Amino acid sequence: MALALQLSATSAGSHTLTTRCVGAVHSASKIGYGSVAVNDRTCGGVLRHQVDQLWHVKEAALVRAASVVRRSAESPSGSVEVAVGGITEVGNDTFYPFLKDAGEKVVVLDMYTQWCGPCKLMLPKVLKLSESYTDVLFAKLDCNQENKPLAKELGVKTVPTFKIFKNAEVVGEVRGAKYDELVKAIESARLLS
């Protein structure tokens, strides 16, 4: 069954996903980050299942698009873009140059995997934090096979794990999807001189 998808977001954080299925139009609404309500009477469970699977892909695309539309500062070394008000994807080759280019700024590193449910739930929240804390740099590290050496070096045992750096030194760590603890760790790191 082929689906045509259109995702729209509101400022309140709710989303509407419109799909076309066998000539009929259906819509699904998502409020917050937990529930999806499918408004359809003909395609039933098949549509609900496909919406559940595709929702994360579309939502991640919106987050990536929002991350691209951001103010950026020139990297002193010219090697890595140091972004302000967004999240920068880093890997084995780009993490340490990113950290060096950050200078004395606080850096929050979100270590995640593509399959991790709590990681997906934290992503929109971390994006909002990156927009709120313009004096803090945010980066993401996908702990996949390609980045496994760096993830191991950084001591990742569970995802999501957030490491907070200042002057290229670890000054805080939060393991798990603990938003309030992450905010406290960022606030503490910002107070360090």
Residue 174: is its pLDDT beyond 80? yes
Is residue 95 located within the same domain as residue 58? Answer: no
pLDDT one-digit tens code per residue, 118-157: 999 999 999 999 999 999 999 999 999 999 999 999 999 9
| Mean pLDDT value of segment 162-168 | 97
Domain boundary among 41, 67, 93: 67
Domain boundary among 43, 67, 91: 67
Is residue 83 located within the same domain as residue 132? Answer: yes
Q: How far is CA 87 from the centre of its chain?
A: 7
Q: Higher confidence at residue 120 or residue 193? A: 120
How many separate domains does the chain show?
2
In terms of pTM, does the model score above 0.75?
A: no
Residue 19: is its pLDDT beyond 70? no
Which two three-digit tokens encode residue 111? 């270590």
Is residue 85 located within the same domain as residue 161? Answer: yes
Is residue 93 located within the same domain as residue 56? Answer: no
Rounded percentage of the chain residues whose pLDDT exceeds 90? 55
Is residue 11 located within the same domain as residue 52? Answer: yes
CB distance 111 to 156 below 8 Å: yes
For the residues of the chain, what is the DSSP string, one character each?
Answer: ---EEEEEE-TTS-EEEEEEETTEEEEEEEETTTEEEEE-SSSHHHHHHHHHHHHHHHHHHHHHHHHHSSEEEPPTTSSS-EEESSEEEE-TTTHHHHHHHHTTSEEEEEEE-TT-HHHHHHHHHHHHHHHH-TTEEEEEEE-SSTTHHHHHHTT--SSSEEEEEETTEEEEEEESS-HHHHHHHHHHHHH--
Residue 49: is its pLDDT beyond 70? no
Q: Which CATH number belongs to the domain containing residue 107 in this structure? A: 3.40.30.10
Is residue 87 located within the same domain as residue 152? Answer: yes
Residue 9: is its pLDDT beyond 80? no
How far apart CA 167 and CA 3 sit, in angstroms, is 48
| Structural domain boundaries enclosing 143 | 73-191
Is residue 52 located within the same domain as residue 82? Answer: no
Residue 25: the pLDDT is 43
Domain boundary among 40, 67, 94: 67
Mean pLDDT value across the chain: 73
Q: Which residues are catalytic?
A: 116, 119
